[in-house]
With several copies, the nearest count.
Chain A
Amino acid sequence: MSNKELIQVMDPEGRVDEAAVRGISEAEMMKMYRLMVFTRLWNTKALSLQRQGRMGTIASVRGQEAANIGMGLALGANDWFCPSFRETGTLFARGVPPENMLLYWGGDERGARPLEGSRNLPVCITVGSHVLHAAGIAFGAKISGERVAVLSSSGDGSTSQGDFHEGLNFAAVFKLPLVVAIQNNHWAISVPIWKQTATETLAEKALAHGVAGARVDGNDVLAVYLTVKRLLEEARSDYKPALVELVTYRMDDHTTADDASRYRTEEMVAPWRAKDPIDRMRAYLTKEHGWDEQKDADLVSECTAEVEQAVRSYEAVTPPEPADLFDHMYAEEPWNLREQREEMLRSLGGSGR
């Protein structure tokens, strides 16, 4: 099908193409829903902590839960994931502890250390760069003969960066097991998608590089899951790289440092409230899978408790030692850092460690 066609299996009222979702078990659907609910609660809590000065500048994922979670659950356990900075839900789906995410956004590098065995890259702030890292990981896997796929995720703005195009070209020329996902949330801070590119869609940028392209309703968690899963399978088994556009919307300010009212109106945002990914999935589960208000209330309080627990662990973490800032610069510390570390410790009166 053409790159421009929008893939959707669940409409905003929660009506689903049952044939399309037959492959998804009820348990998997519940997992999707639960992760979306959890992510939104975590996100809301983190934003309020930020307002109270208990958290640093943070990028909200509200409205993008379906895109986040659909990607996360589509990935295989051995697949690699290369995020930018608006994939909190994907990282939760990939097993990153919620307190670690709080620690990182709270301004403590230690929160960014992946768990043992993890194949998630740390958050990449520089827009676009990590598409190339994903291509290189995919290349490494192909050279080693390991049949895994790599998923890179970035925003609509990243499609303007040279690295995005260089990465897609490498993926196409070397037939790498790479899927590049673009969360098109319509905004790059204040710059709307129509000022970012002159193309109708982002998926069609695949044509410039000869990779497969797909365009999905990013607020339809089932469509995101199914499409990304299929593309990852094709990448894994046929070395077929792809670009997939997840059409969604940034419901909050760009970050807590931003004020979107300076550049966009409520009229622009309103239509997207009706397309909320969580309401949509809830409506479907209620219609088709015996979900009800009581169960929903229980789920919410369950997740809320988990979030509160994560906040307590986050705030219980002992602050880093000053001299920790010298750690992890090299595998082996050279003389300049050793001397500077000692200089700091002397100035701290031998404190630190």
Chain B
Amino acid sequence: MARLSMIEAINAALHERMAADERVVVLGEDVGVDGGVFRATVGLFDKFGEMRVIDTPLAESGIVGTAIGMAIYGMRPVAEIQFEGFMFKAFDQVYSHASRIRHRSQGYFGVPLVIRAPYGAGVRALEHHSDAPEALFAHLPGMKVVIPATPADAKGLLTSAIEDPDTVIFLEPKRLYRLFKEEVPEGEYRVPLGKARLAREGTDVTLVTYGGMVPVCEKAAQHVASEGVDAEVVDLRTVWPFDVDAIEQSVNKTGRLVIVHEAPRSLGVGAEIAATVGERCLLSLLAPIKRVTGYDVIPPLAKLEDHNYPSSDRVVRAIHETMEF
């Protein structure tokens, strides 16, 4: 075991998978010689060479469309889109092809592709560098969306994503890349897709969240604990298809639910969680479900960034409102 940051854990997973499976190739802008603008792919080019670690021209549709072809051929491509805000030049390739070729070929071809992208706000970046677009991918039939919240999960989930026979959108919270280190198992390490993590056990209220909001919710949970409110924090890890059993169990236990994500509220993942819980747990709900999210706005630049990025204060306020209902 070594203490790694999330970005180091991602890099470790890529090294481990590329060494273990020669079908795995990495492609994207600046992933090779440079090692990636966030250093996620550092060392891969020297170790595995330009045929498996590919600096592409500046064309996202080209990257994803080509990766789809590689996957059809039998490779296990890991495509990096440099920032989440640039994934949309490739959106047609995801919407029309990555998510459909298995169906279109009636099971004959699959698209075992991972599309990695740095995700979310919190690093004082330029426009398009602070978006949270997970809902746009989660709504696509045939898609899987994963967002890790810890270094160990990042390694284990990325490993599972690379081995998954279908396309996985793997979004990496920039804010967590270097926020903290933790023990990360060395060598092969898997965390199953579709299974949530109980980040904190509690009995009074459930916080369902993922990615960069997990530490925010943990902080809020600690705060309300000092007031005698015992909050449970469920880290989804796989945003879609999410772990409905874990959510249901927790809400049936606590009777109260606060959903927290940084993405815009309307039609976000939180809406589906709220709708699903409403359908399944209506009778165990003691208060209306609350959503603490980014607002329905363009993620602001540095000066206002923190006012859109949900704070533990906003989560605490929501917990109070839920408890006092």
Contact = CB atoms under 8 A, between A and B. Distances in A.
A126 B86 contact: yes
Contacts of B75: 140, 143-144
B105 to A, nearest CB: 5
A323 B39 CA distance: 35
Given A167-B62, A189-B29, A132 B300 contact: no
Report the contact-size class of chain B (Cβ under 8 Å from the partner). Answer: 35 or more
B84 to A, nearest CB: 12
Given A114-B108, A132-B68, A340-B296, A195 B57 contact: yes
Interface in B259-274: 265-266
A136 B304 contact: no
A109 B58 contact: no
Interface stretch (B13-21, B119-127, B154-162, B202-210): B119-127
Contacts of A289: none
B104 interface: yes
A325 B294 CA distance: 11
Interface stretch (B91-99, B216-224, B229-237): B91-99
Contact of A195 (B55, B67, B125, B266): B55
A220 to B, nearest CB: 26
A208 B194 CA distance: 45
B59 A161 contact: yes
Contacts of A56: 124, 126, 301-302
Interface stretch (B1-9, B281-289, B306-314): B306-314
A97 interface: no
Contacts of B62: 132, 135, 160, 162-163, 166-167, 169-170
Contacts of B52: 143
A329 B105 contact: no
Q: Taking each of A110, A113, A258, A328, which has the highest tally of chain B beta carbons within 10 Å of its own beta carbon?
A: A328
A16 B299 CA distance: 49
A112 B126 CA distance: 12
B72 A136 contact: yes
Contacts of A258: 37
A214 interface: no
B73 A191 contact: no
Given A56-B126, A114-B105, A329-B103, A196 B58 contact: yes
Contact of A347 (B109, B303, B314): B314
B37 A257 contact: yes
Nearest to A178: B69
A195 B53 CA distance: 14
Nearest to A319: B303
Contacts of B305: 107
B215 interface: no
A329 B106 contact: no
Nearest to B293: A340
Contact of B301 (A108, A126, A257): A108
A129 B241 CA distance: 27
Interface of A: 56-57, 80, 85, 106-110, 112-114, 118, 121-122, 125-144, 157-158, 160-163, 166-167, 169-170, 173-174, 188-191, 195-197, 257-258, 262-263, 319-320, 322, 324-332, 334-337, 340, 344, 347
Given A108-B301, A143-B52, A170-B57, 10 more contacts: A107-B301, A133-B69, A135-B66, A137-B72, A160-B62, A163-B93, A189-B29, A262-B35, A320-B303, A328-B107
13 contacts: A109-B301, A112-B104, A114-B108, A136-B72, A137-B69, A137-B73, A139-B69, A141-B73, A167-B62, A191-B57, A327-B103, A331-B110, A336-B266
Interface of B: 25, 29-30, 32-35, 37, 51-52, 54-59, 61-62, 64-75, 77, 85-86, 89, 92-93, 96-97, 101-110, 124-129, 141-142, 144, 164-166, 194, 241, 244-245, 265-266, 295-298, 300-305, 307-308, 313-314, 317
